[in-house]
Amino acid sequence: MAEKKHRVGITDTTLRDGHQSLLATRMKTEHMLPIAEKMDEIGFYSMEVWGGATFDTCMRFLNEDPWERLDKIRKALKKTKIQMLLRGQNLVGYKHYADDVVEEFVKKAAAHGMDIFRIFDAMNDVRNLAKAMEVAKKEGAHVQATICYTTSPVHNMEYFLKMAQDLVDLGADSFCIKDMAGILQPYAAFELVSALKKKFDLPVQMHTHYTSGMAAMMYMKAVEAGADVIDTAISTLALGTSQPATETMVATFADTPYDTGLNLVALSEIAEYFKEIRKKYKEFDVYTGGVDTNVLIYQIPGGMLSNFISQLQQQNALHRLPEVLAELPRVREDMGYPPLVTPTSQIVGAQAVLNVLMGRYKMVTNEVRAYMKGLYGATPGPVNEEIRKQIIGEEKPITGRPADHIEPQLEQARKEIGIYLQKEEDVLSYVLFPQVAKKFLEERYAAKCNVDFNMAQENEANMGAKVYPA
């Protein structure tokens, strides 16, 4: 009996997670566009080009408007679906925003051409996904509902299948299993994908990082279990804390029932292009080779270890890194075993550092205090109530959806940003990153005024009228 044909789709992550993982998200749009047309011809299932940290870094470090980047990429990719990573009620920021902000952001992203919204929540609290999923669905976009994979005493098959059912009830068009730390073992992936495919008639997409060295093997077993699409990056921006290499996975499945149908020669041209582009970002290139098996013990996602090193160096306490790594799982247990992904990875990690340097919970961050108040959502497991009481005293944590406690934000933001508002998207940029966006919008306004003044001077010469700068 012939094997059933099951062609595997490839989502290219080079323009988002590839450079976010390896180059501190510093790749400029001008280095993406020259190769975009060739990438558009490859035949990817989709390309991840926006979301995650790209929105912030565009304005903060590159002096680029993230909305303009999206427009330029959308224009360049005429055949390929584009997708983004959206942190649920956090959108592309690091805290929860009001429903009016979530609704407007998703609408605008869809209007700018976003085809697929991969929506996740760091707590796996589906209430934090509901609004973004609802709006994306209304806008006619594909809603890829995401399960953040992690291991703990409460994260088992029953937990993941219940969450998947909740996501289906909210209108998911497909699932993504997001293995942000690269800890999903190949045979565990086979079991999880098999269970999802048996219970639900939805496509399953796999996302991982190569950090632990298991990623390509995990993809193979997931595909054998029925996974429909896998995330990869072009080889010259792959491996390490990035994704498995596209060419490797294409070759792996070639001439099998899972053949991707992609051309290795065409991919090699793209790889050569990014090999040269990567050289332009040496100062941000954090990958030094090899596999970091610490992730298997501490579940540290890509970039978290380097953050620990940086924080400890600033305190002249790098020698205490082993203590921080040992404290991390204890803090995670105290906090009810949240998956370690933005922003919970930063919340748990920062507290682990403080516990080692200052004493356990002698000093806590504002984020930990908000977490213990329930402002990030329901914890996967029970928190340590003694620790909670130590942090927030007798205050009762909220039990409802966190966003229900946030007043609408757009109107006030529109008033605050005032004359710097050139388009409606500017309001969203400002709400998400007030300080960063304000500086960006002010500089853009000043540059425009200067251009307008220069034009006026030219007109003065022609018309004989005197003009003065505003």
Tokens of 329: 């799982």
Q: Which residues of 343-380 are buried (b: 16+ CB within 10 A; e: fewer)?
A: bbbbbbbbbbbbbbbeebbeebeebbebbbbbbbbbbb
Residues in a beta bridge with 12:
47, 232
Contact at 8 Å (CB) between 133 and 389?
no
Q: Which amino acid is at 111?
A: A
In the chain, where the domains are located: 9-284, 300-395, 405-463
pLDDT averaged over consecutive 10-residue blocks of the chain (470 residues)?
A: 73 96 94 98 98 96 97 98 98 96 98 98 97 98 97 97 98 97 96 98 97 96 98 96 96 98 98 98 80 78 68 88 91 96 90 95 96 96 97 95 96 93 96 96 88 51 46
Contact at 8 Å (CB) between 294 and 325?
yes
Helix (H) or strand (E) holding 106: helix 99-111
CA atoms within 13 A on the CB side of 18: 26
Matching fold, domains 9-284 and 300-395: no
> Which pLDDT does position 426 carry in this prediction?
97
Tokens of 339: 């998956």
> Which pLDDT does position 468 carry in this prediction?
40
pTM value > 0.85: yes
pLDDT in tens, 437-458: 999 999 999 988 875 545 544 5
Tokens of 193: 């994908």
> Which pLDDT does position 247 carry in this prediction?
98
CATH number for domain 300-395, candidates 3.30.300.130, 1.10.472.90, 3.40.50.300, 3.20.20.20: 1.10.472.90
> Which pLDDT does position 319 carry in this prediction?
93
Tokens of 386: 């003694």
Residues in a beta bridge with 176:
146, 205
Residue carrying the six token digits 């299948």: 161
Helix (H) or strand (E) holding 72: helix 66-76
> Which pLDDT does position 22 carry in this prediction?
92
Looking at residue 300, the DSSP 8-state letter turns out to be P
> Top-level CATH class of 9-284?
alpha beta
